[in-house]
Amino acid sequence: MASMNDKDYYAILEVSQDASTDEIRKAFQAKARKLHPDINKAPDAEEKFKEVSEAYAVLSDPEKRKRYDAMRSGNPFAAGAYGGAGSPQGDYSGYGSDPFGWGFPFGGYTSRQTRRTRSRSYNPRTGADVVYDLTIDADVAKIGTRRGVTYQRYAACDVCHGTGSVEAAHAETCPTCKGTGHISVDLSSLFGFGVMEMECPECEGTGKVVADPCTNCGGSGRVLTASEVIVDIPADSHDGDEVRLTGKGNAGTNGSSAGDFVCRVCVPEERLTPEQSNGFHLLGFDLPFVVIGIVAGVISSMSVFVGVIAILGAFMAFRGGLRHDGRWWTNAGKATMGGVTNGLVLALCVVGMFKCSSSMGTAGYMGRPY
């Protein structure tokens, strides 16, 4: 078997060398489910499954991944970090055919192969809401309207009625991790120490699997489909208002309740553009400097600073004109207050510095002998 530094674990998991831990975990889970001996009957599936697990065991641990990267780069000190005493060259030829000492990492496959053809995590979760942005003009928003909306969502599977299983007992303890949700990987033969705990690839950490997965939905209890709803937008609606239809969102997994369909009203005439929002934010940011500067009596020393910010903010905020409806001005006020909040503390510090500088200058002038 090739030594660890001869293997490209990133290529095995099909991830980039700068992939995050979460990306590596997802790649491992996807490959482990595909190569699981209960699912994949190919002659080399078992070996590939162990290879993928080996790659994940190294890349999922930041310290081991750091050493592995250093070793691949040709760092002469990296191999010694893995080799034991008396093995400065890091000889890995003694690993044999199974460097992790697993034998076969997840025992009991033979008995399970006769009971079912596949296994999937049993993880009942409430379905997520589906949020849909419906754009209408101000006149329509004022009088209200009714619109038909077509959208994609996860709906309950018609075959298993949303349970994910065709059996009465829908869930059973995961035979791979025995219900713990984690598996132990012996790293002592590779790194000389420790046992690594990682999420079970069969039950995805839940400790339970679907007893007899539905062939239509794969055991999740839901399928992707197109749905239609009629949405009534009430009169006098405004930008950002929401209309919620209960139970019309994504179906939950394994028989859990569905989320809602949320129609979010978008009225462009009432919405600030990014430039306008930034302009009002600048005006709000400038306001504490003006007020505190006047109170402290140092506004004249800050006139250039506050003047430039005010002019720039006003230009960005009002370049489109001043004729807007009430909701637009409400949004403008919110953006301004956000700027005030951000500028308040800084204004106190800056004005304090100007005040101290002014006081020190006056004291020095008054104390100078003629």
Instruction: Specify the pLDDT at position 94.
Output: 31
User: What residues contact 300, with CB distance under 8 A and at least 6 apart?
Assistant: none
54-68, 129-143, 200-214, 285-299, range with greatest mean pLDDT: 129-143
Q: What is the pLDDT of residues 160-169, one digit of tens each?
A: 888 888 765 6
CB 163 within 8 A of CB 255: yes
Instruction: Specify the pLDDT at position 21.
Output: 84
CB 170 within 8 A of CB 164: yes
Ranges 44-58, 319-333, 352-366: which has the least confidence: 352-366
- Write out the DSSP string of 119-158: --B---BPPPPEEEEEE--HHHHHH-EEEEEEEEEEEE-T
- Write out the DSSP string of 238-252: -TT-EEEETT-SPPP
Band of pLDDT at residue 345, cut at 50, 70 and 90: confident
Residues present in the chain in total: 370
Phi, psi dihedral angles at 291 (to 5 degrees): -65, -50
Band of pLDDT at residue 77, cut at 50, 70 and 90: very low
State the average pLDDT over residues 20-29: 84
State the average pLDDT over residues 235-239: 91
Instruction: Round to whole Å and give the CA distance between 74 and 97.
Output: 24
Instruction: Round to whole Å and give the CA distance between 28 and 228.
Output: 36
Instruction: Specify the pLDDT at position 133.
Output: 93
CB 122 within 8 A of CB 206: yes
Q: Is the pLDDT score of 327 beyond 60?
A: yes
Stretch (H or E) spanning 270: none
CB 222 within 8 A of CB 252: yes
Stretch (H or E) spanning 309: helix 303-318
- Write out the DSSP string of 97-126: T-TT--SSSS--HHHHHTT-S---B---BP
Q: What is the pLDDT of residues 134-147, one digit of tens each?
A: 999 989 999 999 99
- Write out the DSSP string of 31-94: HHHHH-TTT---TTHHHHHHHHHHHHHHHTSHHHHHHHHHHHTT-TTHHHHHS-TT-TT---GG
Q: Is the pLDDT score of 348 beyond 50?
A: yes
Q: What is the pLDDT of residues 212-235, one digit of tens each?
A: 888 888 888 899 888 889 999 999
Instruction: Specify the pLDDT at position 366.
Output: 47
Higher-confidence residue of 37 and 176: namely 176
Q: Which class is domain 130-170+211-268?
A: mainly beta
Band of pLDDT at residue 153, cut at 50, 70 and 90: very high
State the average pLDDT over residues 54-71: 76
State the average pLDDT over residues 267-296: 89
**CA neighbor of 90 nearest in space, from 1, 193, 190:** 190
CB 281 within 8 A of CB 338: yes
- Do β-strands 195-199 and 145-156 pair in parallel, antiparallel, or remain unpaired? unpaired
The per-residue pLDDT of the chain, averaged, comes to 76
Q: Is the pLDDT score of 197 beyond 80?
A: no
State the average pLDDT over residues 335-364: 79
Instruction: Specify the pLDDT at position 84.
Output: 35
Instruction: Round to whole Å and give the CA distance between 172 and 175.
Output: 8
Instruction: Specify the pLDDT at position 134.
Output: 92
State the average pLDDT over residues 60-73: 73
Domain boundaries, the chain: 4-113, 130-170+211-268, 274-366
C-alpha torsion sign, points 314, 317, 320, 321: negative
CATH architecture of 4-113: Orthogonal Bundle (1.10)
CB 174 within 8 A of CB 202: yes
Percentage, residues of the chain above pLDDT 90: 19
Higher-confidence residue of 313 and 92: namely 313
Written as one letter, the residue type at 312 is L
- pTM for this model (two decimals): 0.51
Q: CA 316 from chain center: how many Å?
A: 33
Residues facing 213 on adjacent strands: 165
